[in-house]
């Protein structure tokens, strides 16, 4: 509703009601995120305090190492994480993961968010749904170089790309760093990448991923405002399948629930139900 230059009393009243409703809706939306965020943060802080005390007891080392392996889903050297385990930097990282999960718009069966993305050289912008093609599934993989789970699973993900490239397209989106050197860093990560302060820094980090030779998909970069990461709750890594303009598969938040094998299973079922490829890949043609 637009407010004219010399509004009548009735128009002013309507505008006031509209403004009040908009403000109330905005506040309700913020409370829907902030209340559970602060509650979860309090619970997390208490849990971290308890685990920090347990962590200091020498006879608990093996049990904690097993817990880390379960959560990370990969083998990690103890010295990589031990000194920072359950510390404030780790706590803040988990707070960010919780916030991204609460901000998430993407829901299975619903219309997909369509965030702005950037080419690795920073010269071209796209919308995510530009990469969908008819009824052909688009598998979207979110992650960053400093996430060891994401990097290790790239081999498995590459095998899925090779196996199902005839029935689906694949796209990787580079997001905010999971373990940047200026936040919760891992000792032997061998990547001194800080959290991105500019789009140029994010593009340079994405280039590191390209140069690793581990990637078998098109790579695009999330905006500096983290639009894709927020919309998909992608921090630190996550998998989605979009078909048409709808979310058909929403993977769990990483690292614990980052499961490329579930994507493979979904694509297997898709290939069996519709073996005909009805659209040429847009990703391969760019």
Annotated catalytic sites, by residue? 147
Whole-angstrom distance, CA of residue 179 vs CA of residue 183: 7
Dihedrals φ, ψ of 114, to 5°? -135, 65
Whole-angstrom distance, CA of residue 85 vs CA of residue 90: 7
Of the candidates 212, 217, 250, the residue with the CA atom closest to the CA atom of residue 234? 250
Sheet holding 238-243, edge to edge: 125-127, 116-119, 218-222, 169-174, 138-143, 238-243, 246-250
The answer for residues whose C-beta is within 8 angstroms of residue 14's C-beta and 6 or more apart is 1
Are the C-beta atoms of residues 52 and 86 closer than 8 Å to each other? Answer: yes
Residue 62's region, left for phi above 0, alpha for psi from -120 to 50, else beta, is alpha
Instruction: State whether residue 75 is helix, strand or coil.
Output: coil
Which residue bears the tokens 């709750």? 233
Dihedral sign computed on CA atoms, order 3, 9, 10, 14: positive
Burial class from Cβ neighbours inside 10 Å (0-12, 13-18, 19+) for residue 271 reads middle
The answer for residues whose C-beta is within 8 angstroms of residue 123's C-beta and 6 or more apart is none
Of the candidates 107, 202, 106, the residue with the CA atom closest to the CA atom of residue 115? 106
């Amino acid at each position: 509703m637009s407010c004219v230059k010399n509004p009548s009393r009735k128009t002013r009243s309507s505008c006031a009601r509209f403004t009040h409703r908009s403000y109330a809706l905005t506040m309700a939306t913020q409370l829907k995120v902030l209340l559970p965020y602060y509650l979860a943060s309090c619970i997390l802080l208490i849990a971290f305090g308890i685990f920090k005390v347990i962590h200091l007891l020498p006879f608990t080392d093996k049990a904690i190492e097993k817990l880390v392996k379960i959560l990370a889903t990969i083998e990690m050297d103890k010295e990589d994480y031990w000194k920072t385990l359950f510390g404030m930097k780790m706590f803040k990282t988990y707070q960010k993961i919780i916030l991204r999960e609460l901000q998430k718009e993407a829901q299975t069966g619903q219309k997909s968010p369509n965030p702005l993305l950037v080419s690795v050289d920073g010269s071209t912008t796209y919308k995510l749904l530009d990469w969908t093609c008819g009824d052909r599934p688009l598998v979207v993989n979110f992650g960053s170089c400093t996430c060891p789970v994401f990097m290790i699973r790239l081999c498995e993900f590459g095998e899925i790309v090779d196996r199902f490239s005839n029935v689906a397209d694949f796209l990787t989106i580079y997001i905010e760093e999971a373990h940047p050197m200026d936040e919760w860093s891992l000792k032997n990560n061998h990547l001194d990448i800080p959290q991105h302060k500019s789009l140029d820094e994010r593009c340079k980090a994405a280039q590191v991923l390209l140069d690793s030779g581990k990637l078998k998909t098109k790579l695009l970069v999330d905006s500096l405002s983290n639009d894709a990461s927020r919309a998909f709750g992608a921090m630190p890594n996550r998998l989605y399948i979009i078909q048409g303009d709808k979310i058909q598969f929403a993977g769990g938040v990483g690292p614990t629930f980052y499961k490329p094998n579930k994507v493979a299973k979904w694509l297997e079922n898709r290939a069996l139900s519709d073996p005909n490829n009805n659209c040429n890949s847009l990703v391969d043609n760019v």
